[in-house]
Amino acid sequence: MTKTLLRRVLSYATPYRKPIIGMLALILLNSGLNLVSPLIFRQLIDKVLPNKDIRGLVYYSMALLVIPLLSGALSVLQRWLNASVGEGVIFDLRVALFERLQRMSLHFFTHTKVGELMSRLNNDVIGAQNAISNTIVNMITNLVQAVALLAVMVSLDWRLTLVSVLILPLFILTARKLGSLLREIARRQMEMNAQMNAHMNETLNIGGALLVKLFGRRREEVQRFRERAANVQQMGVQRAAISSVFMMLIGLVGAVGTALVYGLGGWFVIQGTFTIGTIVAFGSYLVLLYSALQGLSSAPVEFSTSLVSFERVFEVLDLPEDIPEPPQAQTLVDVRGELVFEDVSFSYEAEGGTALSRVKRYGSMENVAAVLSLEKEGGTEEKPQDETPEPIYSEGRSQARAVALEHISFRCEPGQLIALVGPSGAGKTTLTYLIPRLYDPTKGRILLDGMDLRQLRLDSLAQIVGMVTQEVTLFHDSIRTNLLYARPNATQGELEQAAQAANIHDFIMGLPHRYDTIVGERGYRLSGGEKQRIALARVILKDPRILVLDEATSHLDSESEALIQEALKHVLQGRTSIVIAHRLSTILAADQILVFDRGQIVEQGCHDELLHLGGLYAHLCETQFKLTTPTL
């Protein structure tokens, strides 16, 4: 634990100085009230009852009623202040984390599990909050009570206080030994529970449920779940039994101390040097002292755990921005749409360094390496790529390589359509990701109207570039909400115009709730063609100056493809467009065709020019686009 970490942790409590000071004051008041009741019992036993003092009996009885009321009211106020601080810290941390994550590049999200991000935003944030609002408060409360109790006990009788303290080593040793055993059992129970939850997560989501049904594995999955649920059950029973033994032994240790105190105190009473009321009060203080010391003995472990959560949160907050925005970033106005790639190279390996460290978080599903087989993580060491030069094009060769793009240079004039063609994995999609700055080039630069993309405001660039990916993503919400994500202030008429341009309006109007129909997680209730046309409508509504489009239609039926084909005529018109082409009609309409192979532009030109070259483009036309003649 470093002082720097501790100072940073405490800095999150700084905005809540006043409620924290209020809590400390309430802790002192409550601790003082807890000291009064045993003294009242001593007065009742030693003076009021022997002297038959009715007035004193009434007063002290009323005091025994008022003190719990005051203590309860103070506890409620303290809890309210505590919750205000705790929830405030959670709010601050969550907003800071979410804001930071929103500024991370696509590379970060492709290398980080969603479950890990959720754990940072939920589990770790709550753990960090516990350090400030619970652990520290409990430590202070127990410490104040222990010191106050020892002071009062010494004032009553130093000999009985010494006997009470002598039993503490046995008390602490028992708590540590059984506490560590109980923590180990709890850890194993959380691991078993994580395995069970991971199995549920894998088999009850849409994809998993579909696989189980298609392969007829219902009985096997039920049996597998039964085994894991049984493990959780067994660990739960074992934990409950050990907890009972733990509490029993702690009680016995406390009983030993109590027996010694009452035995010695009773001897003092018989000898006439101690009153009965004093020993009753001393016994009450002893119970409170042991409770406070038990809390203090477990506080360091709890506080260290909470600080680990803070470290996980700070790791995210301290991540460097791999897509930085310069302090004097420019905003584009009157965009023409000229796009220029100047000797651009890109490697995914070079984008490393912003991933989160792997966290061994007990009870997290993210730590279950293989959900079904429960095999441990492992794998073979990655072999270096063969750096032997290869010919520019060799039919049927692998596209696997270390560098995704190499020396890419081309110019797209305003309003032009550039078609990207090439084998799967050749680098076409990677190139499109560089245009909206989902990634930055490893070498070279990309210019928009003569300005380097790195010098532009990210929000400004996002308004100018529209993108439709092959894998369409829709939120689990209404069609209206998904469309308005492009332009929140769009009117109903503008929504319908965009949907009509994308050939999806008639389909939407045929749905029971029309534009308010919920599309389901990632649009699962829609077909591939319907999702793609909604994505096109969303881009039309955005009205970007530059359009990046992966027009994949291999998974669509002929009717959906024809509707999308018609919609594309409206979408591409008058825009600077970069299209990964999957149909011959788009290629023929292109102003320029770029042919990719292993991350390089191997051919460039118009359709007729490339056909006559007889190279990769001609081969793709023959195999993918079903063109067997040299000309059209």
**308 and 447 housed in the same domain:** no
Structural domain includes residue 223: no
Structural domain includes residue 249: no
User: What CA–CA distance (Å, rounded) separates 479 from 496?
Assistant: 11
**294 and 425 housed in the same domain:** no
- Residues 569, 573, 579, 583, Cα dihedral to 10°: 30
The CA-based angle 292-297-303, given to 5 degrees, is 105
Over the chain, what is the mean pLDDT? 81
Residue 574 in tokens: 């008058």
Over range 605-626, report the average pLDDT.
83
**409 and 449 housed in the same domain:** yes
Structural domain includes residue 384: no
The enclosing domain of 66 has a CATH number of 1.20.1560.10
Position 86 scores a pLDDT of: 83
Distances (CA, A) of 532 to 19, 78, 581: 53, 55, 15
Q: Name the pairing type of β-strands 451-452 and 465-468.
A: unpaired
User: What CA–CA distance (Å, rounded) separates 139 from 300?
Assistant: 9
505 Cβ contact list (under 8 Å, min separation 6): 496, 499
User: What does the chain come to in residues?
Assistant: 632
- At 84, give phi and psi (nearest 5°): -60, -45
- Select, from the ranges 118-122, 391-395, 403-407, the one with the highest average predicted confidence (pLDDT): 403-407
* 183 or 587, greater pLDDT: 587
Q: Provide the phi-psi class of 343: left if phi over 0, else alpha when psi is between -120 and 50, else beta.
A: left
Domain count, the chain: 2
Closest-CA residue to 197 (of 128, 115, 120): 115
Least confident segment among 14-28, 279-293, 389-403: 389-403
Neighbours of 281 (CB within 10 A): 24
User: What CA–CA distance (Å, rounded) separates 360 from 374?
Assistant: 16
Position 322 scores a pLDDT of: 79
- Under 8 Å between Cβ of 574 and 399: no
Over range 371-395, report the average pLDDT.
48
- Under 8 Å between Cβ of 362 and 188: no
Residue 327 one-letter amino acid: P
Q: Helix, strand, or coil here: 466?
A: strand
Over range 529-535, report the average pLDDT.
86
Position 388 scores a pLDDT of: 33
* 401 or 532, greater pLDDT: 532
- At 406, give phi and psi (nearest 5°): -135, 125
**434 and 583 housed in the same domain:** yes
The distance of Cα 555 from the centroid of its chain, to the nearest Å, equals: 33
User: What CA–CA distance (Å, rounded) separates 453 from 461?
Assistant: 8
* 206 or 311, greater pLDDT: 311
Position 296 scores a pLDDT of: 76
Residue 239 one-letter amino acid: R
**555 and 525 housed in the same domain:** yes
Position 344 scores a pLDDT of: 94
Res 477 pLDDT > 70: yes
The 8-class DSSP code of residue 77 comes to H
**127 and 30 housed in the same domain:** yes
Over range 539-551, report the average pLDDT.
87
Structural domain includes residue 372: no
Residue 118 in tokens: 């959720």
The DSSP bridge partners found for residue 607 are none
- Residue 556 — pLDDT band, cuts 50, 70, 90? low
The enclosing domain of 458 has a CATH number of 3.40.50.300
The DSSP bridge partners found for residue 604 are 594
Structural domain includes residue 553: yes
Structural domain includes residue 93: yes
Position 413 scores a pLDDT of: 92
Q: Which residues of 481-500 are buried (b: 16+ CB within 10 A; e: fewer)?
A: bbbbebbeebeeebbbbbbb
**285 and 433 housed in the same domain:** no
In angstroms, the first-to-last Cα distance of the chain is 74
Position 441 scores a pLDDT of: 92
Position 298 scores a pLDDT of: 67
pTM for this structure? 0.74
Closest-CA residue to 40 (of 59, 16, 20, 21): 59
Res 351 pLDDT > 80: no
- Residue 342 — pLDDT band, cuts 50, 70, 90? very high
- Residue 608 — pLDDT band, cuts 50, 70, 90? confident
- Residue 387 — pLDDT band, cuts 50, 70, 90? very low
**505 and 407 housed in the same domain:** yes
Neighbours of 590 (CB within 10 A): 21
The full DSSP string for 525-566 is TS-HHHHHHHHHHHHHHH--SEEEEE---TTS-HHHHHHHHH
**446 and 405 housed in the same domain:** yes
Structural domain includes residue 205: no
Query: What does the pLDDT look like over 108-160, one tens digit per residue?
Result: 887 777 767 777 788 778 777 777 777 778 888 888 888 888 888 888 888 88
User: What CA–CA distance (Å, rounded) separates 82 from 374?
Assistant: 42
Position 291 scores a pLDDT of: 80
User: What CA–CA distance (Å, rounded) separates 454 from 442?
Assistant: 12
**406 and 308 housed in the same domain:** no
Over range 53-70, report the average pLDDT.
89
Query: What does the pLDDT look like over 219-266, one tens digit per residue?
Result: 989 998 999 899 889 988 988 887 787 777 767 777 777 788 888 888
Residue 450 one-letter amino acid: G
The domain in which residue 489 lies consists of 339-355+401-623
- Under 8 Å between Cβ of 434 and 627: no
**312 and 413 housed in the same domain:** no
Position 628 scores a pLDDT of: 42
Structural domain includes residue 411: yes
Res 394 pLDDT > 80: no
Res 561 pLDDT > 60: yes
**507 and 602 housed in the same domain:** yes
Query: What does the pLDDT look like over 34-45, one tens digit per residue?
Result: 888 888 888 888
Res 384 pLDDT > 60: no
